[in-house]
Amino acid sequence: MKKTTEFMKLYDQMIDLSVREGYGDPFTYGRGKEIYLAEWLGHTVASTLAGSDGYDQDGNPVEYKSTINSQIRATYNGVSVQDSWDEQVEYLETNKIGKYKNHFFSRFDETGLVEVWSMDSDRVLELLLPKLSKKFHKKNKGKDPRLGASLSKKEIYTFGTRLL
């Protein structure tokens, strides 16, 4: 029989807590960071992995982006491609990026949460649309035709609001 370590006990406690609170698996993708950030912000954690990551104090759906890189950035990957650029913009504004009034960007390191920024969806769209347009209109889309783009540290620092 294997020894039960402190790590294993804490892991089991995290699973138990997540089941009890309806968070889902805290170890799937970046779910643990989403749960942590929602709690830190005083938000409600979304009960599923699809759709919004959380809900603010007024019940508005919000988007969380986190990284463990040495520099903060926010990556929007796997964006479904629509038939025309006009339809793509409509999709981004109503179903994807614009759907979430506020976007929150966080960076974690080995010590935990080290910085948090917020940005409204209008600004996020303003910054991402030119990048996504370039990829949308690219002739060779590669193996994965879905769109993706990132906000850089400079863009987040320039246009975001620092919360931590």
Question: In this structure, which amino acid lies at residue 42?
Answer: G
pLDDT at position 46: 85
Q: Indicate whether 103 belongs to any domain.
A: yes
Q: The domain containing residue 64 runs over which residues?
A: 48-162
Q: Indicate whether 136 belongs to any domain.
A: yes
Q: Indicate whether 27 belongs to any domain.
A: no
Strand runs labelled E in 61-157 = 61-67, 74-79, 102-109, 112-120, 147-151
Q: Indicate whether 30 belongs to any domain.
A: no
**Single pTM value for the model:** 0.87
Please state the three-class secondary structure of 9-51 as a single string: HHHHHHHHHHHHHCCCCCCCCCHHHHHHHHHHHCCEECCCCCC
CATH number for position 119: 3.40.210.10
Is residue 69 within a helix (H) or strand (E), and if so which, with residue range? Answer: none
Q: Indicate whether 147 belongs to any domain.
A: yes
Q: Indicate whether 20 belongs to any domain.
A: no
pLDDT at position 158: 98
Q: Indicate whether 100 belongs to any domain.
A: yes
Q: Indicate whether 138 belongs to any domain.
A: yes
Question: In this structure, which amino acid lies at residue 50?
Answer: A
Q: How many domains does the chain divide into? A: 1
Tens of each residue's pLDDT in the chain, 164 residues: 677 688 878 888 888 888 888 887 787 778 889 889 999 999 998 877 677 889 999 999 999 999 999 999 999 998 999 999 999 999 999 999 999 999 999 999 988 899 999 999 999 999 999 999 999 998 877 788 899 999 999 999 999 999 99
